[in-house]
Amino acid sequence: MASPVLPSSGVLSPLGLDSVRPAPGFWGDRVALSREVIIDHCREWMERDGWIGNFRELNKNPARPRQGREFSDSEIYKLLEAMAWADHPGLPELAATVARAQEEDGYLNTRWHDDRYTDFEWGHELYCYGHLIQAGVARLRMHGEDELTTVARRAADHVCRRFMDTSETCGHPVVEMALVELYRATGVERYLEMARRFVERRGAPALADIAFGRAYFQDDLPVRKAEVFRGHAVRATYLACGAVDVAVETGDTELLAAIEAQWDRTVARRVHLTGGMGSHHADEAFGEDFELPPDRAYAETCAGVGSVMLAQRLLLATGDVRYADLAERTLFNVLATSPALDGRSFFYANPLHVRVPATPSEGINQGVEGDLRSPWFTVSCCPNNIARTYASLAAYLATSDASGVQIHHHTPGEIRHDGLALRVETGYPWSGAVTVRVLEARPARISLRVPAWASGARISYGGTDRPAPAGYAVAEGDWQVGDEIRLDLPVTPRWTFPDNRVDALRGCAAVERGPVVYCAESVGDVPELALVEARMSPPVEHLVDGVVELDVRSTRISPETDTWPYIPAQPAEQPAERPDGDPDPSGQPASPETLRLVPYHRWGNRGPATMRVWLPAADRRV
């Protein structure tokens, strides 16, 4: 089966790219964008920067200066994985370039080949192997054995010989889940055992201490002893993925329960409204509980990818709808946000508040700030991660069990499994109507996910109509060709308020509609968002080029201040009144206006702009 995650057991089984075919629509359009634009864009930049050339020149011209960061090999491997899922015609040539650089014992690295395994904290050698192995697994499942799969297996065999009986591990996890997936694809037990040992070594400690502390590497505690995800957010989610894979394949229920508990606490205290993970720019890391500043939110795109990968694994293992809910939030508001609409520039970080418009650049972004998409970065993990995730996205949309099929993510397309064929028709997320039409029939349960926010949802089929509470709406019957199931999800706009323990968000509110988070965007800083407060009246919808935008009532705050930006409270018995009746503690005049909100994933496509998701709430002061 063509799926990036294919566990041998679990409550649910994935339906792969051979069973789920997205049609034009929100996600189908992005799958096509990856295949037609993003993959080639990434390959062109890696040729331009010399990262692919590192492989060509490794043996031919050793004196040539190597290009890119120490982990740039991994970007070629992510690209190969994307090409494998997309069945891209450029894969064989690029794979051959990589294969020619591999050494006799399976070692492969263009940075460290003369100085092997001398820097486990920052060298990324095992990390690079992980992405190479994932590319090999993708090719094996889509195409069968070929040069790329041979390279990946030789590298994995080298890792097992070199590391099986040591106490060493890599500063950046990913090889763990890659080795488990190779075990699943080949049945070779040593790959699973090597992955298990890497997971168990973490927190012994296995790595040197650094300025950020061992928590940065998740090396401060053994995996099963931790209470929450901490440290570097991408490393944390990748390690958790590997731990879940090991737990599922070895029957380690204690390890699985530990990751579930860590996920629960992290989601409750350390995740942004968008599903983004990471509050610290300096170490790309989670903050402490409720440390979620919107303007300093890091929410790296790759951490979003890791979060979706982890949620998928936990969903398959447990069948718990909460994991699909978070995956949907992250897909719509992190993964869909990173690439520009044309697929040729990307956000690395995804803050929820940008105060100053960025300066456009057509070249390489040396930094990773989230104020303007860039065509390429010195560290370009995010574009390639988007490419491979979009290319394999169909495998995340639906699953099966002995009773039938579960649809987790609503998007147009066809689903085929074991004599049952379904066509999904929907304008989701702009419309909440989802129609499932039976194309090939047999008795089965067909389950459609009802998100937690969808209060008032209904399901109808076979002459019945009933409420559909959050979870899964189940339609069961002896289906006939032409039968239809209709799910109606209320995607009306709603105001969302933060927990008061989130210091940076007190007195603010945000707007969501269905799975989409909205933001105020001000191209050219008109209106000046720093001087706008939102009113809690119902947002008004507008359909603009097929996309729902929203108008909310707002109030402009006077920008005038003489010497001091802090204002004494007015006496309670004599409040200054705003023209619309709301007391203004500054005594300054203000007037009601209309503020246009756009989907967060679409901001920044009209040029440099300021932006904010969390709006000061004029009638909800704390």
* Model pLDDT, residue 197: 98
Strands 484-488 and 458-461: antiparallel
SS3 for 176-233 is HHHHHHHHHHHCCHHHHHHHHHHHHHCCCCCCCCCCCCHHHHCCCCCHHHCCCCCCEH
DSSP code per residue over 125-184: HHHHHHHHHHHHHHHHHHT-S-HHHHHHHHHHHHHHHHHTTSS---SS--HHHHHHHHHH
Of all residues in the chain, the percent with pLDDT exceeding 90 is 85
Residue 520: which of 430, 428, 602, 584 has the closest Cα? 602
* CB proximity list for 548: less than 8 A, separation 6 or greater: 430, 513, 541, 542, 599
Question: Domain locations in the chain?
Answer: 13-351+364-396, 398-488, 493-616
CA–CA gap between residue 200 and residue 206 (Å, rounded): 10
DSSP state of 448: E
Q: What pLDDT is attached to residue 248?
A: 98
Q: How far is CA 84 from CA 36, 53, 79, 166, 219, in A?
A: 14, 21, 9, 33, 33
The Cα-based distances of 515 to 199, 319, 323, 428, 431 in angstroms read: 34, 20, 14, 9, 11
According to the model, what pLDDT value does residue 359 have?
A: 72
Considering Cα of 89, then 19, then 147, then 109, what sign does the dihedral take? positive
Please compute, for residue 454, the number of CA atoms within 13 A of its CA located in the half-sphere on the CB side: 28
Q: What does the pLDDT read at residue 562?
A: 62
Check: CB of residue 498 under 8 Å from CB of residue 459.
Answer: no
Give the C-alpha separation, 449 to 40, whole Å.
Answer: 34
Going by C-alpha positions, the residue among 70, 376, 360 that lies closest to residue 368 is 376
Tokens of residue 345, six digits: 């520039």
Q: Write out the two tokens for 17.
A: 């790219």
Give pLDDT, residue 527: 61
For the stretch 171-228, pLDDT in tens is 999 999 999 999 999 999 999 999 999 999 999 999 999 999 999 999 999 999 999 9
Residues 463 and 441: their CA atoms lie apart, in Å, by 18
- Residue pair 165/197 in contact by the 8 Å Cβ criterion: no
Matching CATH topology for 13-351+364-396 and 398-488?
A: no
Ramachandran class of 213: left when φ > 0, alpha when ψ lies in -120 to 50, beta otherwise:
left
pTM score over 0.85: yes
Q: How far is CA 148 from the centre of its chain?
A: 26
Q: What is the pLDDT of residue 569?
A: 73
Share of the chain above pLDDT 70, in %: 93
What is the tens place of the pLDDT at every residue in 229-241?
Answer: 999 999 999 999 9
Which amino acid belongs to residue 230?
R
Task: Give the integer Cα–Cα distance in Å for 300 and 350.
Answer: 6
Q: pLDDT tens, 421-474?
A: 999 999 999 999 999 999 999 999 999 999 999 999 999 999 999 999 999 999
The more confident residue out of 62 and 514 is 514
Q: What phi and psi values does residue 444 have, to the nearest 5 degrees?
A: -170, 160
Q: 559-606, pLDDT tens digit by residue? A: 665 677 777 776 655 444 444 444 444 444 445 689 999 999 999 999
What mean pLDDT do residues 285-312 have?
A: 97
Q: How far apart are CA 254 and CA 124, in angstroms?
A: 29
Confidence category of residue 530, pLDDT binned at 50, 70, 90: confident
The mean pLDDT of the chain is 93
**For the domain with range 398-488, which CATH number is right: 1.10.260, 1.20.120, 3.30.450, 2.60.40?**
2.60.40
CA 387 – CA 80 distance, rounded (Å): 10
For residues 74 and 441, give the distance between their C-alpha atoms in angstroms, rounded to a whole number.
44
Q: Can you give the pLDDT at residue 578? A: 42
More confident position, 570 or 549: 549
**Which residue type sits at 474?**
V
Assign a CATH topology to domain 13-351+364-396. Glycosyltransferase (1.50.10)
Residue range 122-139, pLDDT digits in tens: 999 999 999 999 999 999
In the structure encoding, which two tokens stand for residue 614, read together? 């969390």
